[in-house]
Structure 1
């Protein structure tokens, strides 16, 4: 099937041809006809499936066919809501490519950059706005944006908006629009709150489900390094000595962690830039452009900031920290292996991250192969991977815990106080006497609590390990 078979108008076809789009992806094949027919749509799809073109191409066509009035009388007729600035800008860039030979105008409304520039774009007129909820709400409250003429609403990555706490903002925005409109709803997962929204917003929707979570990663070569604590940076430095890794996207759990990894890579002459929420929009966009152009070899990102990063030929994704949500792992490694291409995903795992690894493997329904023979192996087998009880009812410990056994027995009884100075008649220093006397008092006055205290501390350590 080709885009021409989907009844795309010539002006859009010209833009698609210029962008080297030839054959639609599965989600485009299913979604475009439904949207062109005016139906509401519920799309369950991961990133990298061609989702943006699946909703933006038919929107451009519908608005082009319904265009009315002079250019100066433009109103916002389609709103696309996204969770992050990067994703909004990426979608806006794509729409400009698809619509370059039409009369449709679009603009991105995001935080982190000057509002004045966006106000000027709105004053010039925009048919489609792609926005993040925070900045859009600001402009609505300032009466700078009117959504009363919106005909088509798109909620992209709705589950991520829920994760980021934007759902109430989204509901306030929707309340400013006409009740009668076409709604296109995309979400990689369907938690209860999202399911509830779908039932409220969509009317008899066409459902399109592409690439379940467990199979998204099938074409990506995955590996895991089980590392001793504190050795991740050394391992990353060593991996990046391989010059065949031209570009790599490295994920960290925190903004501070992203900055630290970037600094440490610079020390070994690896060009790297960080992208996260504390960076201004201009800094983030500059880092992304440098990465896409090849000026920067490594982009270090947090999960939030990485939404919207779409880099062709990205061969490697490296999880410096494993995510605590398994689906986030799928989102991350989906940055490589795009559009049917293969890719590599490398993950680092310390002992405290092993439960995250176990959850990830349950979701993707496969065991991630471990890389062995590196200089920083994890020592010992984690307690929770063993059985909790050994024969005889005693707790089972591995070799690493046996090396540092927890004291579960009470201290041995000391000599009576009357015998302390009986030996050889020598006088000990007053400091020594005080120390012993204090020790004796604490022991003799609380020998039972001590006994219980040691048992409790041992139990606490076992519980933590488990």
Structure 2
């Protein structure tokens, strides 16, 4: 099946072919026809399966067919995304689809000049990609209006719920016309998603192309049971075996990411970090250097677990296991993209046994053990003698020293 078989105009199909995209993915094959027909769509698919094109191409085609320029400050289509990185990636994809047409694609995110964003919005926008917080700031300034929007898309809707954006959505959605077309896309299907669907979608077509919580097939997973104080040493050994490959390393906290980055830098790795305490400029420079291969290792919190499409990532390390088990799937989904193979390694300390059990329940399988033995006792209680440092041991779990007490992530603050 080709994109033209799905109902796309030949001009849009040619733009895809110019980018080396010729065959629709499963989510695109099943979502594009009902989206073109004007149906509300609820799509569940793994990260890296082409969800942006599944909703972006139908909206672009219908706006091109209409040919009506947006009024000042108005938008024709609104795409909400939970993180700046995902929002920027969506804009890049939409810009590639619409290059050479009259469609104007806009981006509003925190960490950038709100005055510059307001000035651009004054000219009107066909497709606006926004993070909820910055969009509300601009709505409060009356710099943008949504009463002309015909399309609403919630991308990575499950993460929007996790990050507490439901309240922002309740404020934004009523500002759009009731007869709009709404599409919701997600990698997982938590219970709240059904409530979200019932509140904002009308008789949606539900499309599920992979079971929620199922990792990408081409990701080779491995698990190491290791003391928190020995994780840095083990990570260094693993990274040293493939210094020329791109590797993503996930930590639970922002400060832990910084400490680990400094430890890896001392060991001679070309390493950077991204998390919520970094400015937007710092995050974009780090991601650009990582994509270009100037950095070989990127240490990140879960702010990077969604939407980042860097095909060259060969290895993902879960230095700290995530508190939310679905985030494990999103993290390892940063590798094995676009048909490539990838490797995901998880480190489990005695205090993380409950997280490991939750992850394995979510993915429906046990992760193969490549090192150590499972920690004994209920809820990962330390076995006798655990916690003693080995001679010559490396730094602590968050970059050196003793393992710190775990802190629960609290929505956006943990990013």
Q: Which TM-score applies when normalising by structure 2?
A: 0.89
Which of the pair is proportionally richer in helix? 1
CA 1:155–1:171 in 2, change beyond 3 Å: closer, same or farther? same
Segments of 4+ moved more than 3 angstroms: 71-75, 397-401
Give, in whole Å, the separation in 2 of the partners of 1:237 and 1:349.
Answer: 16
Deviations 1:193-223 (A, max 9, x none): 3211211211111111011135334321011
- The answer to whether the 8 Å contact 1:3/1:24 transfers is yes
1:71-86 to 2 correspondences below 5 Å: 75-86=74-85
Which of the pair is proportionally richer in strand? 2
Aligned position for 1:57: 57
1:337 correspondence with 2:336: yes
Q: Which has the larger radius of gyration?
A: 1
Aligned position for 2:324: 325
Give, in whole Å, the separation in 2 of the partners of 1:167 and 1:399.
Answer: 45
Tell me, what secondary structure is at the counterpart of 2:139?
A: helix
Aligned position for 1:444: none
Higher deviation after alignment, 303-312 or 283-292: 303-312
Give, in whole Å, the separation in 2 of the partners of 1:15 and 1:148.
Answer: 31
Give, in whole Å, the separation in 2 of the partners of 1:341 and 1:110.
Answer: 31
Aligned position for 2:221: 222
Consecutive unaligned residues of structure 2, counting only runs of 5 or more, are: 389-415
Tell me, what secondary structure is at the counterpart of 1:127?
A: strand
- The answer to whether the 8 Å contact 1:82/1:133 transfers is yes
- The answer to whether the 8 Å contact 1:38/1:182 transfers is yes
1:14 correspondence with 2:18: no
1:24-103 to 2 correspondences below 5 Å: 24-69=24-69, 75-103=74-102
Aligned length: 387
Give, in whole Å, the separation in 2 of the partners of 1:182 and 1:213.
Answer: 25
- The answer to whether the 8 Å contact 1:50/1:339 transfers is no
Aligned position for 1:299: 298
Consecutive unaligned residues of structure 1, counting only runs of 5 or more, are: 389-396, 404-466
1:157 Cα deviation from its structure 2 partner = 1.1
- The answer to whether the 8 Å contact 2:94/2:105 transfers is yes
- The answer to whether the 8 Å contact 1:245/1:316 transfers is no
Deviations 1:408-466 (A, max 9, x none): xxxxxxxxxxxxxxxxxxxxxxxxxxxxxxxxxxxxxxxxxxxxxxxxxxxxxxxxxxx
Tell me, what secondary structure is at the counterpart of 1:371?
A: strand
1:382 correspondence with 2:376: yes
- The answer to whether the 8 Å contact 1:15/1:101 transfers is no
1:162-241 to 2 correspondences below 5 Å: 162-241=161-240
Give, in whole Å, the separation in 1 of the partners of 2:191 and 2:379.
Answer: 32
Aligned position for 1:443: none
Give, in whole Å, the separation in 2 of the partners of 1:314 and 1:324.
Answer: 23
Which structure has more relative contact order (CA 8 Å, sep 6+)? It is: 2
Q: Which TM-score applies when normalising by structure 1?
A: 0.79
1:85 Cα deviation from its structure 2 partner = 0.6
Aligned position for 2:398: none
Tell me, what secondary structure is at the counterpart of 2:345?
A: strand
- The answer to whether the 8 Å contact 1:28/1:51 transfers is yes
Aligned position for 1:158: 157
Give, in whole Å, the separation in 1 of the partners of 2:5 and 2:189.
Answer: 31
- The answer to whether the 8 Å contact 1:76/1:147 transfers is yes
Give, in whole Å, the separation in 2 of the partners of 1:365 and 1:306.
Answer: 20
1:368 Cα deviation from its structure 2 partner = 1.2
Tell me, what secondary structure is at the counterpart of 1:315?
A: strand
Give, in whole Å, the separation in 1 of the partners of 2:90 and 2:291.
Answer: 16
- The answer to whether the 8 Å contact 1:276/1:304 transfers is yes
Give, in whole Å, the separation in 1 of the partners of 2:375 and 2:230.
Answer: 17
- The answer to whether the 8 Å contact 2:291/2:310 transfers is yes
Tell me, what secondary structure is at the counterpart of 2:214?
A: helix
Higher deviation after alignment, 7-16 or 280-289: 7-16
1:28 Cα deviation from its structure 2 partner = 0.2
- The answer to whether the 8 Å contact 2:305/2:330 transfers is no
- The answer to whether the 8 Å contact 1:86/1:306 transfers is no
Tell me, what secondary structure is at the counterpart of 1:58?
A: helix
Give, in whole Å, the separation in 2 of the partners of 1:236 and 1:353.
Answer: 17
- The answer to whether the 8 Å contact 1:55/1:184 transfers is yes
Deviations 1:150-175 (A, max 9, x none): 00100111111111111110110111
Give, in whole Å, the separation in 2 of the partners of 1:217 and 1:5.
Answer: 27
Give, in whole Å, the separation in 1 of the partners of 2:143 and 2:117.
Answer: 10
